[in-house]
């Protein structure tokens, strides 16, 4: 499955520098490296840095200035005051929302990793007539857009509608197919001899999977965790459908409501955007090193 | 001992026949089928049942408590109201525009970032960063940046005496503006996948081509492009899947407006749900289902065939 190979290896190979080029530095090549590089950096500043600087500037302004949505320095830097305002608004509702979002992300990604790894592992290892059907279902689940309202109807029947556990299960289900494809592709690179050795040493099927195979899946687990955690954390549509009302909001819903409730408080809106960006950023920085470490250890290369 | 527990299906036939029934049972359970069950239960409850029941509910007038069968009325209504037809065509436009742009830009950036270039690490980081930011947050940011009167983009354009379009207030432009922001946010992933694809191409091919005197364009056309095809297929498929069902960004920037000019099927589904027309909303879902299948099946077949030709 080439689709998954490209994604599985994206994090690892993408970070590895290509082989050093030992050809002499000609004028053309010098031009390519520095002139193109400088142009690229300038363009990147305009295209990517300016929007983020804008968010920071907006988050530091007072409400009146921020309402003008102009790209200008604030006359008075109010980063801390705005931060306190956002966090303490509605009885520290922000903290609750952040906690909910983190619980939602951690729980649903944990379910995805374990369940999808189990499926991907058996699907790759075991030859069975069922495989063709399961592969088809996985692809179908990846492609088919979920039918939202009937999906509300099901958790409503079992009392999980408008609850965090309900949303956790829904998010986990929607992410499963993609994870299964990644795991199946990666399990193929783990030599079967390892399984045999573990069985000879007396491991049962459960110890074999959770004790031997799962730890070896670490690099692809990192990929799955990064991709899915960012997707779940920043998803707006699913909380919108499955957590209507404000009993247990996730961070994306109040962010959206900030726009309608407090039109004159653009400064707080952008402070909120800034704060909501921090958890995915921390996770990315943290796992980015793990990706490299997991790859260079070489334990998994078959 | 070792022969009795050799678990692989690839074991030679001789040992297979010598196995006792007990040994065979042990061999089977090495990869237990019940490993499918947890995922299958979730899949069944939260995906398969809703998907199949959506076909029924799309034929009803439905309020979550009360269901009344009305046949194909919802679909007839969907295709009779011009705003819903706009949403239908917009879905295709949005999906294809974002997907094509991500392929072209992602490949170009990946070529740039796998070659020798100043500030490579910085550029990689900065291009990937938007992927981490909340979609709603990005929507609001660009809504402010592209503000027709005060936004920095139009201020700069005005300073240069260029026309200042109403990026998301002009009915003809709103959808494409949202699509452009979508590309801005998503191009980092496309670039990452392409970089993985390019780095995976054996270096000898490039060296051999250069020995034969191939120019930069010729190397790209005859080596990089064909050999990076798996990555291209991945980017096309993933961005089409995402683009056809896109909702968050459109909702944050235009809410389908001005009027209904930037509505897509996903936003219509939500609007009808808000208005209480659950049957019509679910019909929208079934239409989205058909659209996605109608686009994805031929595209994947085409991409797979291209891969086989290599």
Integer-rounded Cα Rg, in Å, for chain B is: 26
Q: Report the pLDDT value the prediction gives residue B81, as an integer from 0 to 100.
A: 82
Point out the residue among A10, A119, A172 whose CB comes nearest to the CB of B192.
A10
Report the residue of chain A nearest B277, measured CA to CA: A149
**Which residues of A fall within a CB distance of 8 Å from B46?**
151, 154-155, 169-170, 173-174
Q: Can you identify the CATH homologous superfamily of domain B84-262?
A: MetI-like (1.10.3720.10)
Half-sphere exposure of residue B20, counting CA atoms within 13 Å on the CB side?
6
State the average pLDDT over residues A75-93: 83
The percent of residues above 70 in pLDDT, for chain B, comes to 89
Spatial distance between the Cα atoms of A238 and A244, rounded to a whole number of angstroms: 10
Query: Are B279 and B60 spatial neighbours (Cβ–Cβ below 8 Å)?
Result: yes
pLDDT in tens, B248-303: 999 989 888 788 888 898 998 898 888 888 888 888 889 999 999 999 989 988 88
pLDDT over 50 (residue A298): no
Of the pLDDT bands very low, low, confident and very high (cuts 50, 70, 90), residue B185 is very high
Contacts of B213 (CB under 8 A, 6+ apart): none
Q: Report the pLDDT value the prediction gives residue B2, as an integer from 0 to 100.
A: 38
pLDDT over 60 (residue A146): yes
Domain boundaries, chain B: 84-262
Taking CA atoms, B22 is separated from A139, A163, B4, B128, in Å, by: 36, 47, 10, 54
State the average pLDDT over residues A259-279: 80
Distance from CA of B135 to the nearest CA of A (A): 6
Taking CA atoms, A85 is separated from A63, A252, A271, A287, in Å, by: 12, 18, 9, 31
**Would you call A236 and B47 a contact, using CB atoms and an 8 Å cutoff?**
no
- Give the ipTM of the model, two decimals please: 0.81
Report the residue of chain B nearest A204, measured CA to CA: B30
Judging by beta carbons within 10 Å of its beta carbon (0-12, 13-18, 19+), is residue B186 exposed, middle or buried? buried
**Would you call A169 and B46 a contact, using CB atoms and an 8 Å cutoff?**
yes
State the average pLDDT over residues B132-152: 88
State the pTM of this model: 0.83
pLDDT over 50 (residue A50): yes
At residue B67, the 3 state secondary structure works out as strand
Q: How many CB atoms lie within 10 A of CB B184?
A: 18
Whether the CB of A261 is below 8 Å from some CB of chain B: the reply is no
């Amino acid at each position: 499955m080439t689709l998954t190979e490209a994604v599985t290896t994206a994090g690892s190979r993408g970070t590895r520098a290509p082989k050093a080029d030992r050809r002499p530095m000609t004028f053309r090549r010098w031009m390519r490296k520095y002139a193109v590089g400088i142009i690229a950096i300038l363009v990147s500043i305009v295209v990517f840095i300016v929007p983020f600087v804008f968010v920071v500037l907006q988050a530091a302004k007072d409400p009146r200035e921020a309402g003008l949505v102009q790209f200008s320095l604030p006359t008075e830097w109010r980063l801390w005051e705005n931060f306190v305002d956002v966090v303490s608004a509605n009885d520290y509702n922000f903290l609750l929302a952040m906690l909910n979002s983190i619980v939602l992300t951690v729980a649903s990604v944990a379910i995805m990793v374990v369940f999808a790894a189990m499926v991907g592992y058996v699907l790759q290892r075991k030859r069975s007539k069922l495989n063709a059907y399961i592969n088809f279902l996985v692809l179908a689940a990846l492609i088919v857009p979920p039918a939202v309202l009937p999906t509300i109807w099901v958790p409503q029947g079992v009392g999980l509608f408008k609850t965090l556990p309900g949303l956790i299960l829904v998010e986990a289900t929607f992410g499963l197919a993609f994870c299964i494809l990644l795991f199946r592709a990666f399990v193929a690179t783990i030599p079967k001899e390892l399984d045999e050795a573990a069985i000879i040493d007396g491991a049962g099927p459960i110890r074999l999977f959770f004790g031997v195979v799962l730890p070896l899946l670490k690099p692809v687990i990192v990929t799955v965790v990064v991709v899915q955690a960012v997707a779940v954390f920043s998803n707006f549509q699913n909380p919108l459908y499955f957590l209507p009302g404000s009993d247990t909001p996730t961070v994306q819903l109040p962010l959206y409501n900030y726009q309608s409730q407090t039109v004159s408080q653009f400064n707080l809106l952008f402070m909120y955007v800034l704060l909501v960006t921090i958890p995915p950023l921390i996770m990315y920085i943290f796992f980015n090193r793990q990706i490299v470490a997991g790859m260079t250890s070489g334990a998994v290369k078959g | 001992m070792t022969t009795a527990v050799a678990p692989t299906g690839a074991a030679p036939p001789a040992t297979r026949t010598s196995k006792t029934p007990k040994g065979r049972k042990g061999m089977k359970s090495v990869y237990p089928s019940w490993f499918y069950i947890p995922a299958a239960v979730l899949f069944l409850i939260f995906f398969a049942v809703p998907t199949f029941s959506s076909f029924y509910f799309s034929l009803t007038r439905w309020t979550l408590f009360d269901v009344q069968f009305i046949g194909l009325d919802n679909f007839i209504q969907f295709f009779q109201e011009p705003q819903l037809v706009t949403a239908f065509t917009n879905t295709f436009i949005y999906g294809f525009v974002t997907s094509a742009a991500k392929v072209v830009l992602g490949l170009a950036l990946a070529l740039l970032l796998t070659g020798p270039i100043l500030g490579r690490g910085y550029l990689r980081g900065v291009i990937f960063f938007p992927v981490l930011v909340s979609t709603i947050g990005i929507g609001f940011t660009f809504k402010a940046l592209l503000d027709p009167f005060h936004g920095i983009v139009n201020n700069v354009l005005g300073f240069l005496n260029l026309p200042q379009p109403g990026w998301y207030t002009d009915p003809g432009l709103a959808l494409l503006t949202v699509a452009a922001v979508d590309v801005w946010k998503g191009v980092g992933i496309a670039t990452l996948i392409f970089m993985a694809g390019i780095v995976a191409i054996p270096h000898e091919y490039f060296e051999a081509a250069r020995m034969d005197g191939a120019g930069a364009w010729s190397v790209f056309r005859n080596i990089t492009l064909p050999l990076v095809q798996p990555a291209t297929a991945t980017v096309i498929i993933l961005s089409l899947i995402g683009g056809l069902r896109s909702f968050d960004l459109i909702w944050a920037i235009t809410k389908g407006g001005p009027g209904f000019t930037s509505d897509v099927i996903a936003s219509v589904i939500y609007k009808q749900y808000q208005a209480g027309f659950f049957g019509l909303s679910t019909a929208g879902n079934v239409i989205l289902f058909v659209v996605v299948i109608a686009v994805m099946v031929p595209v994947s077949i085409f991409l797979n065939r291209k891969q086989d030709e290599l």
